[in-house]
Chain A
Amino acid sequence: MSFPGEWTLRRLIAFVATLGVGIALYIAIADSGSGAPACLAGGSGCQTVADSSYSHLAGVNVAVFGIVAYLLLLASAFFADDAARLGGFVVALGGFGFSVYLTYIELFKIEAFCEWCVASAVLMTILFLLSATRLIGYAGAGEGTAVARGS
């Protein structure tokens, strides 16, 4: 099985994480106070989701946790060592798991969808797959490995 070069994976992770920071930042800013993100496709799904008690955890907007996760993933892309590979994977795994939980909440509890939250969940899923590929492909490969591993 061959893997894309680690340098390619790191660039992809950095790109997707940057998009994620933008989306999470927008949700956090739009949701501050009593506002809500604007649903581009129309409808009141974003308002309904933002207004629900699930939009906050311990008084903190869940989008803030998203910003932190995306920034950590962005940081992991700047380093080519095992700590960054494993750390990035664990953060992406946590983000992906939390996205699964939030999607469940939207579907079965709030019964409304916010397209920004869905976009963030998709990005986090992509980051999880990229980080998993990076870890499986390059774990233990030492620092600065940029060549594709094949077997």
Chain B
Amino acid sequence: MPGEAEARRRQRLLQLAAGAVFLAIVAVAVLIVVNATTSGSGGDTKLEGVAAVNKFLAPYPQNAAVIGDPQAPVEVVEYGDLQCPVCKHYAEDVVPSIIEKQVKQGSARIDFRFMVVVGGESITAGAAAQAAALQGRGWNYIEIFYRNQGEENSGYAADDSFLEAIAKAAGVKNLDKWNADREDLTKWVEENTEEGENVGFTGTPSFTVRGPKLNEELEAVGTAPSTGELEEAIEGAH
């Protein structure tokens, strides 16, 4: 009978729908539980400060390892080592105030260069950060790295899973490209190091400024300057 056939078909369809609802609930629950038991946003590695860093840097343009308006009159170059504890302090307490003032106002841009002073693992880490910079996520990578810095030369800074977790957390979208690029960028880090040494720096973080008042000549601000000294150097170059 048509009525019975319709009822059977209806019952079958509703059973299928109920099964789909059950599967969907399980799938969503599994996804949420898996995410809740893993890190910030980078796989199995527990990372600190991911959301805060990404939120802080979101308004600022990034071009390679440069943060700020590319047309900003003053170029600040920071030579840093990702394993260096003093650089970590600068990344957390000094550089953000420069970003919030001079970079935000459009009077300065900051170019991060990788100067290796702590050990060979800094080369691997620097190459990973520069590979992220090629996708516009360099500063996110550097800042998240500093917030999760470990003991010097303990192996973490060259650990692939740690470096990849930071790449994911920093928002690197093409991880295959990032992986391919970082293999080729160790030479870039070595060149950066040589460049910093040629300026006369032997430690990190070190800064140079270049701007109109300096006739575009490079001025070495020095190693580990205070926030005031750095701001003064930027104003002096503007």
Contact = CB atoms under 8 A, between A and B. Distances in A.
Interface string B1-43: 0000011111111101100110011011001100110001110
Interface stretch (B171-179, B207-215, B219-227): B171-179
A23 B110 CA distance: 36
B14 A135 contact: yes
5 contacts: A34-B136, A52-B171, A93-B20, A97-B27, A105-B35
A29 interface: no
A75 interface: no
Contacts of B147: none
B238 interface: no
A115 interface: no
Contact of A47 (B14, B32, B58): B58
Nearest to B12: A140
Given A34-B136, A51-B171, A86-B17, A94 B32 contact: no
A111 B55 contact: yes
Nearest to B167: A53
Interface in B111-135: 135
A139 B13 contact: yes
Contact of A110 (B12, B16, B41, B175): B41
B7 A86 contact: no
Nearest to A140: B10
Given A53-B173, A59-B175, A98-B28, 15 more contacts: A44-B55, A48-B51, A51-B54, A51-B58, A51-B171, A52-B41, A53-B42, A55-B173, A86-B13, A86-B17, A90-B20, A109-B41, A139-B14, A140-B10, A141-B10
Given A48-B58, A51-B58, A93 B169 contact: no
Contacts of A51: 54, 58, 137, 140, 171
Interface residues of B, number: 41
Nearest to B177: A59
A12 to B, nearest CB: 19
Among all A-B residue pairs, the 4 with the closest Cβ atoms: A140-B10, A140-B9, A44-B58, A51-B171
A147 interface: no
A56 interface: yes
B32 A104 contact: yes
Interface of B: 6-14, 16-17, 20-21, 24-25, 27-28, 31-32, 35-36, 40-42, 51, 54-55, 58-59, 135-137, 140, 168-169, 171-176
Q: Is the interface of B mostly helix, strand, loop or mixed?
A: helix
B168 A53 contact: yes
Interface residues of A, number: 37
Contacts of B58: 44, 47-48, 51
Interface of A: 34, 44, 47-48, 51-56, 59, 82, 85-86, 89-90, 93-94, 96-98, 100-101, 104-105, 108-112, 132, 135-136, 139-142
Contacts of A139: 9-10, 13-14, 17
B55 to A, nearest CB: 5
Contacts of B171: 51-53, 55
Contacts of B173: 53, 55-56, 59
A44 B59 contact: yes
A141 B25 CA distance: 27
